[in-house]
Structure 1
Amino acid sequence: MDVLVELAVGDAYGAGFEYAPAGFVAEHNTLRDYVRHPRHDLRPGAYTDDTQMTLALAELLADGEEWTPETIAERFVAAFHRDPRPGYARGFQAFLGEVRTGADFLARIRPHSDKSGAAMRAAPAGLLSTVDEVLARTAVQARVTHDTPDGVASASAAALAVHYCRHGLGPVAEVGEWIADRLGSPVWARPWRGEVGEKGVMSVRAALTALAAHDTQSGVLRACVAFTGDVDTVATVALAAASHTHRADLPATLLDGLENGAYGRDHLAGLDARLTAQSDARLTAAPDARRA
């Protein structure tokens, strides 16, 4: 279950279509290979901020360090400066270029966004053993940058989707209803239609819709991109969950074509193995805890 590898494929593939014209999406969304965006200078197969910030949280979780705003901010800063890349919102990318420590990040950030930044990186928390753990840690990481009701809720829904699929808590078609019950809001059970905007609730609803409607990872990925709009985030969220439940049929061209530098495919796969081992160990120690 290569959660990080597969969400990175979703991110990198979706990046070629982010807010691209609908006709371009319809013509090129074939999964045959990565696509160069018609306007942005992003290398096909390279992941974006969605994966880089997820990777920062995954490394923090795997290393077993304390999960606090300070350690989270420190990881965000370190991940960016060791491997600068495009894909971030322009203002946030400039902000990351200026800050050098987690303390500086927290002192200067204005965490009032309800966009998708906290949801796109929420997958690692979904690997935890109980719903309470998932929600608690997701809220901490979300509030670092998205301390709004919708910012936290969309991140919680994204993490719960991973948790639901990782632990096999029910039919995939019912993932939205299960999340709606846990978060006390029917919005997560409502299918998404049309272009996906910048709000976190939009991206996660679209991801849940694609998850529920398909039984293969390729079907999920194509459906995510077909929405148009902020599709790299939709695909990142959806494939993080689909990696546990949906038939693994992503084309070899996408898996092999994913960037593989110092923090690329092999690094992600190694971290996946560590996280899976830790998750399995927690389940062995408390096999019924996940249903709490």
Structure 2
Amino acid sequence: MLVELAVGDAYGAGFEYAEPDFVAAHNTLRGYVSHPTHGQLPGAYTDDTQMTLALAELLADGDPWTPEHIAERFVDAFHRDPRPGYAGGFQAFLVGVRTGADFLARIRPHSDKSGAAMRVAPVGLLSTVDEVLHRAEVQARVTHDTPDGIASASAAALAVHYCRHGLGPVAEVGAWIADRLGSPVWARPWQGKVGSKGVMSVRAALTALAGHDSQSEVLRACVAFTGDVDTVATIALAAASWVLPNDLPQVLLDDLENGTYGRDHLAQLDARLRECG
């Protein structure tokens, strides 16, 4: 799961908020694309994967799932491997904090954007819906303590849970989540450009996931929406990795970054996470 979502993140990063004509011309899956204006290296993942990695390591290590431990992991993950991709204000915030306690003391957790949803995939591996929802909410409240911030994180985690545990046809994932969260919005197909709100990214990811039969088709569909497509692809491939054929082009796997916390580290952590469900 972590390798696949990192591929989605890194591939989508080349198209994030790019012009539709650029997306249409280059969304071929033939390799990573250099963004027309950003400085991101092709094949490098972004904050979506780095923050997911922080939560995955916390879950795999079995440490208490508390705001203090979650914040500490976010700080550690950033400072051990600084990278672009974070929103400017949040990146500056992370540069200035060195401990989880400092993070919690200084954060203003009032966002309804996609940060809590993009990183929550490991929580979906847990064995019960109640535990998934509890841990999704705890981690969301650290930075996105708003109704939509929490709901979008919950929906993204439930998508992974639904697929990981084979709870029904993939085409019905949105309806199942809508029933669990008591809101029909998750069953409504997304159309058009994806903005920064968490609900937008998760709805787009669910639409791509439910409407396609392989991981490569899901990835192309996520990017074709335009907008915040690296986040859409991260969320969608985290779930798709458990239920749809993995036909991602080998070039995307081979060219995914593989430094200290790159492809091999993600694959090793994937193996540990399989014991969490």
TM-score under structure 2 length normalisation? 1.00
Q: Output the CA distance in 1 between the equivalents of 2:264 and 2:108.
A: 34
In the other structure, the counterpart of 2:21 is 23
The answer to whether the 8 Å contact 2:132/2:157 transfers is yes
The answer to whether the 8 Å contact 2:13/2:46 transfers is yes
Q: Give the secondary-structure state (helix, strand or coil) at the position aligned to 1:188.
A: helix
The one-letter amino acid paired with 1:79 is A
Q: Output the CA distance in 2 between the equivalents of 1:215 and 1:130.
A: 26
Q: CA RMSD in A?
A: 0.4
In the other structure, the counterpart of 1:253 is 251
Q: Output the CA distance in 1 between the equivalents of 2:44 and 2:144.
A: 25
Displacement, 1:259? 0.2
Q: Which runs of 4+ in 1 moved over 2 A?
A: none
In the other structure, the counterpart of 1:232 is 230
In the other structure, the counterpart of 1:193 is 191
- What are the Cα deviations for residues 76-132 of structure 1, in whole angstroms up to 9, with x where unaligned? 000000000000000000000000000000000000000000000010100000000
Q: Output the CA distance in 2 between the equivalents of 1:79 and 1:63.
A: 14
Q: Give the secondary-structure state (helix, strand or coil) at the position aligned to 1:57.
A: helix
Q: Output the CA distance in 2 between the equivalents of 1:245 and 1:126.
A: 14
Q: Percent identity?
A: 83
Q: Output the CA distance in 2 between the equivalents of 1:152 and 1:95.
A: 21
The one-letter amino acid paired with 1:47 is Y
The answer to whether the 8 Å contact 2:121/2:157 transfers is yes
The one-letter amino acid paired with 2:188 is R
In the other structure, the counterpart of 2:239 is 241
In the other structure, the counterpart of 2:31 is 33
The one-letter amino acid paired with 1:217 is Q
Matches within 5 A, 1:2-81: 3-81=1-79
Q: Output the CA distance in 1 between the equivalents of 2:126 and 2:161.
A: 7
TM-score under structure 1 length normalisation? 0.95
Q: Output the CA distance in 2 between the equivalents of 1:109 and 1:267.
A: 29
The one-letter amino acid paired with 1:265 is R
* Unpaired segments ≥5 residues, structure 1: 280-292
Q: Output the CA distance in 2 between the equivalents of 1:120 and 1:132.
A: 20
Matches within 5 A, 1:182-221: 182-221=180-219
Find the partner of 1:133 among 131, 134, 156.
131
Q: Give the secondary-structure state (helix, strand or coil) at the position aligned to 1:245.
A: coil
In the other structure, the counterpart of 1:282 is none
- What are the Cα deviations for residues 11-53 of structure 1, in whole angstroms up to 9, with x where unaligned? 0000000000000000000000000000000000000000000
* Unpaired segments ≥5 residues, structure 2: none
Q: Output the CA distance in 2 between the equivalents of 1:182 and 1:278.
A: 22
How many equivalent pairs are there? 277
Q: Give the secondary-structure state (helix, strand or coil) at the position aligned to 2:16.
A: coil
Displacement, 1:277? 2.8
